[in-house]
Structure 1
Amino acid sequence: MLTVIIALLVIGVLIFVHELGHFIAAKLMGVKVEVFSLGFGPKILGFKKGETEYRVSAFPLGGYVKLYGEHPETLPSVVEKDKAFAFKKTWQKAFIVVSGPLANFILPVLLFWFLFWVSGSYLLSTKIGEVLPDSPAEKAGLAPGDEIIEVNGKRVKSFDELVLYLKSKETVNEVLLKIKRGSQVLEVKLVPETKEGYNVFGKKTHVPFIGVKSTQEIVHQKHGFIEAFKLAIEKVIDITTLTFIALFKLFTGDLPFSTLGGPITIGKMAGDTAKLGFYPLLSFTALLSVNLGIINLLPLPMLDGGHLVIFSIEAIRRKPLSLKTQELIFKIGFFIIIALSIAVFYNDILKLLSGWKLP
């Protein structure tokens, strides 16, 4: 039960923020918002204020903002053209559409900002605890107690960053490490070995190996208000970059489709994270928000990214697509979304049948 409640709360917040982005942008562009709904399907409860009906609907895994004059079939009945979405300029329509995903990027920046400012960072020290015998590190003269400061000119703040850097590369011809040894700062060059291991996405592959282990020392760093904001932006950029790389690897087949999860997976992860505490749950919510923003920007019909593609085509053609073409595009998009939804639900069910239990 805890899993369901936590999952609905997390998903509800993300949906609300996404739709609020569309809502605010629509208001700024002078478009009438007819309905603001959390959830799909039949209305459970709601109220009307001004020209907008605010409602909670039966199926919580989604939401929508219904704009006046948005759908092709409603255009013949449009009376107030100045308030209709379809009659706005292309850049105004694009702004309204992109504001939903944009809100899903703003939220994690704010959440990570809060987390870095209030609780700081807990990092695995970059000090070397052990140098493996006959390894590239030993041959290069590295020793226990050396603190790694930079790798190939990139500052590393934690041992995890060093590991992540190596796992993200299939081959590294040479690594230049800047290390601190006592009061000295030295530069050490080494050539990693290539060994069988797992990359950053969990796929078995060959990864560079230098042969050092961490001291397992945890360092707590506090951050000021401004520094925390900068770190939050960097964190969101890193997550976004990794997500796009993962999507590319899914497309090329380097990452199996079975790694994708749906609402059940999200629910389990939310429940597990909630048990760790409030701050980890906020971090998970931020991560999920970035993913939601990216997914909505994919150039698929019915998603925000699909709308942006259509607006781009209209801008190039300098005239809107025909109603028949738009209807066909959205029917194709609906089919794709349903197919993807079935696929991720199938992955969830397989995980449950394999003995994966919900908390």
Structure 2
Amino acid sequence: MTSLYIPHLLILTGLIGIHSDIITVSKVSVQTRGSISIPCLYGFHHRNHVKYLCRGFFFNFCKIVVQTNQPKSSSGRFSIYDDTNQTIFTVSINDLRDEDNYYSWWCAVEIENAADVKQRLYLSVTSGMSNLYVDQQELTAFEGGSVTVLCHYKYLKQTRWCRLSRDCVTDQTGSIDGTPVTINTSVPDVFSVAMSKLRKESSGWYLCSNGDLEMPVHITVNELISTTTTTVSPTTAMTLSTTQQHSSMLTSTEPCTAHPTNTTIATTGGESLQDDLKSSTKVTILITTLVLLLLVVPAAFFGWRMIKHSKSKPEGPDIAAGSQTGRDPEVLYATVTFNKHVAAQRKGNHMPEESVTYSTIVIKDRE
């Protein structure tokens, strides 16, 4: 009897795919017209093989809807991406329909000259709210930080948080690969999963699980880039700036490109260096203006006095002359008077201090 059942058991195993070399989700609930991304983990020795998604109850008769040598389907509903470094290929299904609910789906790897390896998964497509869903399937965090995933459910059963092909946390607290995990079920219709002290190694696919339903979530942990804020005095900052400029002119032979930075250089007084330089510039301008006023005003006053003094001096010698006629009409007396400054001018020209002018007057006879 046993020998009679063995061939039938082997045939059934090949039809429904009990044996598997692939790890994926078991059952996923998705809303109509929604979309879903499903990770399929395979062995390292299958990295260079073709991977595909197949639809049908029996694997040997299923229909391939998308494969890695043709990443997108003709309808555009299906796509596939193979990460050979992580040995995971991800299939995405868009615009899910009611008829998709009645099929079995297979993650499979093509093996030449042998049977393909595969793993069955079920899609539960509902017209209303999904029995288990998350707000986002793709989350990003930073090293040393934390991330929180909200898993919405319709009926609360046993909750778990698992890493694909790794350990699971079922209690309120636990850890996965050294990363602390906290599960909170105090809020109705949702349980939250918090992961803290994240590392780069924490990146990967996780499963939010409630009963037999699973929802895959991918978490990417990025390296945290730190920035340094330097505090220097204005004098030091100006010296550094001048030194850098001279150094750049002496050593640089190629054009430089300035890149914006978020670093703030603050003065010792709590103000930024830029504000301090502006204040210094204003003081310099004010002092320069005052110095110019002190020089220009006295010069203008002195010039005005010189012009006024030059206008008050006579242009030539001041000579006063008078004449009168005596009793004798034939005799005319003339008086000539010289001012002192005229005598001084003549003294400068080596003239005698006093001079006598002789005049001869000729009177014509009256006719």
TM-score range, shorter-chain basis? under 0.3
- With a CA cutoff of 8 Å and minimum separation of 6, indicate the structure with the bigger relative contact order: 1
The TM-score normalised by the length of structure 2 is 0.17
Q: Specify which structure has the higher proportion of helix.
A: 1
Which of the two has higher C-alpha Rg? Answer: 2
